[in-house]
Amino acid sequence: MFLGLFIKWLFEWETHIVVLFVFLTYTVTGGWRFLRIVWYTWRRDLKGLTFLIYVSVLLKWYRKTGVTVVTLFDKTTKKNPDKKAFITIDGRSWTFREVNEYSNAVANYFYDQGYRKNDIVAVFMESRPEFVMIWLGLAKIGVISALINFNLKHEALAHCIKVSGARSLIFGSELCEVVKESYHLLPTNIILYISGMYQTNNIQAKHLDNILKDYSKLPPRVTHKTFFNEKLIYIYTSGTTGLPKAAVVTHSRFYYMARSIFHFYKMTADDVIYGTLPLYHSAGGVLGVGNVLISGCTMVIRKKFSASKFWIDCRDHGCTVAQYIGEICRYLLVQPASVNDTNHKIRLMFGNGLRPQIWLEFKNRFSIPQIGEFYGATESNANIVNIDNTPGAIGFQTRIIPSVYPVTLIKVDLITGELIRDKYGRCIRCQPGEPGELVGKIVSGKPLRSFDGYADKEANKKKMARDIFKPGDCYFMSGDILEMDEFGYMYFRDRTGDTYRWKGENVSTSEVEAIISNIIHLTDTTVYGVEIPGTEGRAGMVAVADPNRTLDLQLLSREVKKTLPSYARPVFIRVMSQLNMTSTFKLKKVEYRMEGFNPDIIADDLYYLNVRSNSYDQLNSDVYNGILNGTIRF
C-alpha cells in the first residue's frame, strides 16, 4: 500500500514537473504576451460572449414562437400603457397607448385599401412620432416601409421610391414643395398621402390625418403570419457607388441592433433618450426608436440638432441618455462654456464617429460618465461595440477565442481597396498595428451572421467576397479600414471605395459626379473627400477639367443647392486643364485627395463654398489659413 501511494505521488510529481516545464517554456518563448492579453481582457470578453449566447438562444426562440417587433411592442404597451413613449420639443407627447392606437388606425385603413404582406410603402417626412407610428402600423399588416432620407430631392428621391417598388408615398406636409418639384419623376401609378398640416398644392394627395380619424383604433384582423426573420423596413445607405440602396432590416436585425445597445450599456426602461438624429437612419430609427418600442424607454425628439439647445433640452426633459454622431460632439465643444454643460442627468451618450483626439475633452467637459461608441452599418454583420469606455476605440474583437465572433481585419491594398492574398489564394489576417478592412463571416440561417442585403439583389454581390480563408466561405465586406491593438480594441482609420463621410452622412462620389457633370456639361469630373483639421470625416471636393475656363460657378452653386442635400454639396472646387488618368483610364482620385486644397502646393484654380454668400469664392492662402484655424467654417 505504501509502495502504491509512493508511486502515485511520484507520478503526480512528475506530471506537475512536466506541466510546469511546458508552462515555463511557453512563457519564455513569448507566451507571456498571450497570458497578458487574457489577464486584461477576459472580463470584457466574457461579457460579450454571455450576450452572444443569450441573444442567439433568444432569437431562435422568437423565430419558433412567431415573435416580431410588433408583438414585442404590444407587450411593452400592455406593461405601461400610460407611460410617455415619445415627446417632442414643442410640448406634444404620445403615450404607448396612443402610439398603439394611431398605428392600429394606420394598419386598419391600409388593410381596407387592399395592402397585404410584403407590399411596400415609402415614408418621407421629417423626424416626428408620426413617422414611427406610420411604419409601425404598416408593419402590423406585414407591409414593408421604405424610410426615405428627407434631404433628398428630384432624381435621388425618385430613385429611392422606384427601387423600393413602393405602391404609395406618405410624405410630411413640410416636404410638400419637394414632392411637387419631383412629381414628374415619380412612378405614374403611385398613390400619394400627405401627413401634417394640410397645404394647398397642385398634386393629388390624400390627407392621411383626416382619413385616420374615422378608422378603428383596435388591432387589425389579419389573415397572414409574419415571422422574425422576415422584412420589417428598408433603410437607405449610399454604399460605395451610385445612388442610395435600400438595405433590408428584418424584425430579428431590428431587435438585435437595439437590444445590443440596451444590454451592453445597461439601459433600463426608465431611461429617457434624447434624439436629434434623423429617424430614417438606423442610428436614430433603430437604436433609438427600437429601445422605445421593444424596451419601453421614452424618447425626446428634436427635428433638427441645435448645439445651443442640446444640454438645455436634456435638462428640461430629464434625459438620461443621448445619441450622437462625431459632428454633434464637435459642434458642442465649440460652443461657449456654460453652466448648462454639466447641469443635466445624462449618464450615457452612445453613437459613432467621436474622434479619439477630443474623446476625453468631450467626456470631461460635459461630465459624461460613459461614452458608448460602436461601429456598424444597417446591412452589416460585422458590428462591434466599445463596452468598457476605452477612449478612442469603436469596439473590440476577442483575441482569446476569435472564432466565437468571426469578425476580423484582412489586408487590402490601401490605395485600390483590392484584397491581398497569399500564394494559396487566401486572404491574410492583420496583426495588431496593421490596418485592414473589417469583414464578417456570413452564415445563412443564423441571425447574427446572416447578410440580409438590399432590395436590389444585384447590389449584394458587391458587398460579398468568397474564398477568404477556406474554399467556398463567404464574408461581408465593410469597406472600412480599421486597426486593432494587442488587446483586440479596434480603431477607425479610413474608408475604401468611392465613398466619404461628411456631416454624419455617407456621400457617394459617383452620384455627385453624375449630377455635377449634367450641370456643367464638361467631360471629366471627379469627386473625392478631403480632410479639414478639426472636423469629422471628409469634406467634398470636385476636380473639373476645364481647359477653356468656361465653368460657371454661379450656375454650379445654384444647381447643386437644388439637386443635392447640403451634406453632399462640394465644399471645394479644383479647376484643371485636364485630369490625370492611370494607364487603364481611371482618374487618379487618390492623388488629388492626398493633395487636398492647399493653394501653396496646388497651381490650379481653387474655390471654396462661402456659406454666408452661398457662392464659390476664390481660395487663396488667407482663406486657407482661415479654414485651418477655424475662423472659416462649414
Least confident residue range of 272-276, 318-322, 436-440, 455-459: 455-459
The three cell numbers locating residue 178: 419637394
User: How many whole angstroms separate alpha carbon 96 and alpha carbon 82?
Assistant: 6
pLDDT score of 550: 86
Q: Which helix (H) or strand (E) holds 164?
A: helix 154-164
For the ranges 36-50, 225-239, 296-310, 569-583, the one whose mean pLDDT is highest: 296-310
pLDDT score of 502: 87
Give the mean pLDDT of 16-34.
59
User: How many whole angstroms separate alpha carbon 625 and alpha carbon 599?
Assistant: 10
State the sign of the Cα–Cα–Cα–Cα dihedral 633, 241, 575, 548.
Answer: negative
User: How many whole angstroms separate alpha carbon 311 and alpha carbon 365?
Assistant: 12
Other beta carbons within 10 Å of 113:
13
The pairing of strands 436-441 and 407-410 is antiparallel
The three cell numbers locating residue 342: 454639466
DSSP 430: P
User: How many whole angstroms separate alpha carbon 560 and alpha carbon 513?
Assistant: 11
pTM of the prediction?
0.84
> Letter for the amino acid at 129?
P
The three cell numbers locating residue 67: 415573435
pLDDT score of 297: 98
Residue with more model confidence, 518 or 112: 112
Residue 604: closest CA among 551, 554, 530, 545:
545
591 pLDDT band (50/70/90 cuts)? confident
**Is 80 exceeded by the pLDDT of residue 585?**
no
DSSP string over 278-292: -TTSHIIIIIITHHH
Place of cell 432569437: 59
User: How many whole angstroms separate alpha carbon 254 and alpha carbon 232?
Assistant: 8
Question: 616, 556 in Cβ contact below 8 A?
Answer: yes
**Topology (CATH) of 393-444+458-492:** Luciferase; domain 3 (2.30.38)
User: How many whole angstroms separate alpha carbon 451 and alpha carbon 466?
Assistant: 14
Yes or no: domain 69-375 corresponds to CATH 3.40.50.12780? yes
239 pLDDT band (50/70/90 cuts)? very low
**Domain spans in the chain, listed from the N-terminal domain onward:** 69-375, 393-444+458-492, 499-628
Question: 206, 113 in Cβ contact below 8 A?
Answer: no
Percent of the chain residues topping a pLDDT of 90: 61
pLDDT per residue as tens digits for the range 270-286: 999 999 999 999 999 99
Other beta carbons within 10 Å of 44:
18
Rounded to 5°, the CA angle 175-176-180 comes to: 120
User: How many whole angstroms separate alpha carbon 24 and alpha carbon 42?
Assistant: 22
Residue 131: closest CA among 16, 299, 331, 312:
299
- Write down the mean pLDDT value for the chain: 88
pLDDT score of 452: 86
Give the mean pLDDT of 396-416.
88
Other beta carbons within 10 Å of 121:
22
Q: Where are the beta strands (DSSP E) in 521-614?
A: 525-530, 539-545, 572-576, 605-610
> Letter for the amino acid at 468?
I
The three cell numbers locating residue 363: 467626456
Give the mean pLDDT of 562-583.
84
**Residues in contact with 25: Cβ distance below 8 Å, sequence separation at least 6, in sequence order:** none
**Helix, strand or coil for residue 574?**
strand
Least confident residue range of 4-13, 70-79, 194-203, 514-523: 4-13
Question: 245, 236 in Cβ contact below 8 A?
Answer: yes
Question: 140, 96 in Cβ contact below 8 A?
Answer: no
pLDDT score of 10: 44
**Is 50 exceeded by the pLDDT of residue 632?**
yes
pLDDT score of 238: 62
Least confident residue range of 181-195, 231-245, 299-313: 231-245
Residue with more model confidence, 239 or 29: 29
User: How many whole angstroms separate alpha carbon 291 and alpha carbon 513?
Assistant: 38
DSSP string over 69-114: HHHHHHHHHHH-TTSEEEEETTS-EEEHHHHHHHHHHHHHHHHHTT
pLDDT score of 242: 61
DSSP 418: P
Q: Which helix (H) or strand (E) holds 363?
A: helix 356-365
Rounded to 5°, the CA angle 235-160-530 comes to: 75
pLDDT score of 240: 45
> Phi/psi at 240 (nearest 5 deg)?
-100, -20
- Per CATH, 393-444+458-492 and 499-628 having the same topology is answered no
589 pLDDT band (50/70/90 cuts)? confident
pLDDT score of 415: 63
Counting Cβ atoms within 10 Å, is residue 109 exposed (0-12), middle (13-18) or buried (19+)?
buried
**Topology (CATH) of 499-628:** GMP Synthetase; Chain A, domain 3 (3.30.300)
> Phi/psi at 410 (nearest 5 deg)?
-125, 155
88 pLDDT band (50/70/90 cuts)? very high
